[in-house]
Amino acid sequence: SQQGEEDPQALSIQEGENATMNCSYKTSINNLQWYRQNSGRGLVHLILIRSNEREKHSGRLRVTLDTSKKSSSLLITASRAADTASYFCATLVYAPGNTPLVFGKGTRLSVIA
Amino acid sequence: GAVVSQHPSRVICKSGTSVKIECRSLDFQATTMFWYRQFPKQSLMLMATSNEGSKATYEQGVEKDKFLINHASLTLSTLTVTSAHPEDSSFYICSARDGRGSSYEQYFGPGTRLTVT
């Protein structure tokens, strides 16, 4: 079953604008991760944020985590056409062992040049 | 970084035949491997979790007799789709976790696109 729900399902913006995607989940987690997937391709790991962290940055990416609301957001600043992809959040309920990452439904981002 | 490979990357088979997909961890020992399935424009859905040397644990709704998983070594897991049907056409992605240390990351393979005609 899916743990996360992304919002919006699809997002279309102009190049240079910021893109914000949200993810909500249902149970307590150990960490939350964001992935990118270009059409028909494999997953690219973007960033991992642990349950005791509130914000994390990586280049043009900024991820926040609010465990009280069971939600996370991914912000891509100064978007580029190459950022066009699907973005998924994935949660790890407890770690590590053999518990899998559970994926949300994803947000399809289109960046128009 | 850790690398997971899958073979084949694409396969087309006829309805009723079986297809085997291999997943290998190239530079680490994967104590646990996961198999996901992704239909077009949808998310990844976990099919099963396998630990080296033991039987796989399947998610609800996934037929274990249809999707045979073998995790015979710490670097190889195979998924066999038996008696494939067109509705089994999908993108199959394996993932591996290094059970040593404190890494929480799962490393994903590039996926295998299965088309059943």
Do residue B49 and residue A100 have CB atoms under 8 angstroms apart?
A: yes
Report the pLDDT averaged over residues B20-48.
93
Under 8 Å between Cβ of B36 and B42: no
Tell which residue, B13, B10, B4, has the closest CA to residue B83: B13
User: What type of residue is A42?
Assistant: G
Under 8 Å between Cβ of B34 and B45: no
- Quick check: B11 pLDDT over 90? yes
Band of pLDDT at residue B54, cut at 50, 70 and 90: confident
And the tokens for B50?
């396998």
Tell which residue, B107, B101, B103, has the closest CA to residue B77: B107
Write the pLDDT tens digit of every residue in B56-108.
999 999 999 999 999 888 899 999 999 999 999 999 999 998 766 555 678 99
- Quick check: A109 pLDDT over 80? yes
* Contact map slice: A 41-60 vs B, CB within 8 A: 41-43, 45, 48
- What does the pLDDT read at residue A6? 80
Band of pLDDT at residue A95, cut at 50, 70 and 90: low
Query: A106's torsion region: left (phi>0), alpha (psi -120 to 50) or beta?
Result: left
Which of A37, A44, A92, A105 is the best residue to mutate to test the B interface, defined by the most B CB atoms within 10 Å of its own CB? A37
